[in-house]
Homo-oligomer: A and B are copies of this chain.
C-alpha cells in the first residue's frame, strides 16, 4: 500500500501568456518540489485548472510530471469526471503514463444519492490499478458525503488509501472519521492549509494542498511530529497571513507567487478564470515582505530562520 503521510503539494498548471501549456515550467515546478523532498505531487486538481483542460493536454501534463519526477516523488493525478466510465479511462491513462495514484471526487447529480456516490467509487476502484485518494471537497463538487458514507466507501474498496479531508469543519470531520473508518487510512489536509494546525491536532497525516511555500508545510509537519507543539504552532501562525491571502478566490494569487518564485514563466490563468488585479499584486508584495523580510523566495526558504526557531 502506498503511504500517504507527508506533504503532497497540489501543482498549478503553468500556462504561457497565450494560455497554452508551458511544460518547461511544469518540469521546473516538479523538480523544485522533488528537491524540497516532498513525498509526492498532485497534478490536475482544482488548482491545476483541470476543469479547463482538454484530454490531450491532460495526457501531456501527466507525462511531463512523471518524467520530471523521475521516481524521486510520487505523482498523483486528478481524474474526477462526471461520468464513471470516463473517470476509469482517465485513471487508466494515468496508470499507463506511470502515475502513482489517483485523486477522485464525486460529481453532483440532479438527484443526489450517497448510495450512488458509493457505487461511483466502487466502480472506479474496480476499474483502475492505482491507489485512490478520495477527495471530500463539497465546496468545489457540491457533493456532501456523510461520515458513514465515507466509512462505507473505505471499507468496501481496499484501493482507497487516503482521504483528502476538505469538508468543513475539517478538524471535526477528521476526528469523526478517525472513529468511524473501518481501517486506518491517512487523512490529508487541503483547503490551502487554512485549518492545517487544527487538522493535525485531530489526526491529519499531512498536507495535500496548493500553498505556494510547501517548505513551510514540511517544517510545520516536522515540528508537529517531533512533538514540539509550540514550534509547530508558531510556524503555522507565522505564515497564516499568506495562507489567508491565498484563500481569496481564483488560482491567480498562487500562480503569481509561483511566478515570483521563478517556477512559472507566467502567472496566466485560463479564461474564464480571473487574472490578478494590480491592487492585489501590490498587496502580495507587501505581505511577502511582511512575512519574510528580505528573503529571496526564488530559493527554498529557511523556515526555521524566518520564524526564529
Contact = CB atoms under 8 A, between A and B. Distances in A.
Interface string A112-136: 1111110110010000000000000
A260 interface: no
A248 interface: yes
B55 A54 contact: yes
Nearest to A280: B172
A17 interface: no
Contacts of A245: 198
Given A107-B272, A279-B202, A49 B168 contact: no
A117 B146 CA distance: 13
Contacts of A197: 241
A56 interface: yes
Given A171-B283, A279-B202, A244 B248 contact: no
A184 interface: no
A220 interface: no
A172 B279 contact: yes
Given A172-B248, A172-B277, A197-B241, 18 more contacts: A52-B85, A54-B83, A83-B271, A83-B272, A84-B270, A84-B272, A85-B270, A107-B272, A109-B273, A111-B168, A113-B144, A116-B272, A169-B280, A172-B279, A198-B283, A230-B290, A236-B241, A237-B240
Q: Is the interface of A mostly helix, strand, loop or mixed?
A: helix
A30 interface: no
A289 to B, nearest CB: 10
A182 interface: no
Contacts of A144: 111-113
A273 B202 CA distance: 22
A116 B245 CA distance: 24
A215 to B, nearest CB: 20
B52 A175 contact: no
A294 interface: no
A51 interface: yes
A109 B272 contact: yes
Contacts of A248: 168-169, 171-172, 195, 198
20 contacts: A54-B89, A83-B270, A83-B272, A84-B271, A85-B270, A109-B272, A110-B249, A111-B144, A111-B249, A120-B272, A168-B249, A172-B277, A172-B279, A175-B279, A198-B283, A202-B283, A233-B290, A237-B237, A237-B241, A237-B290
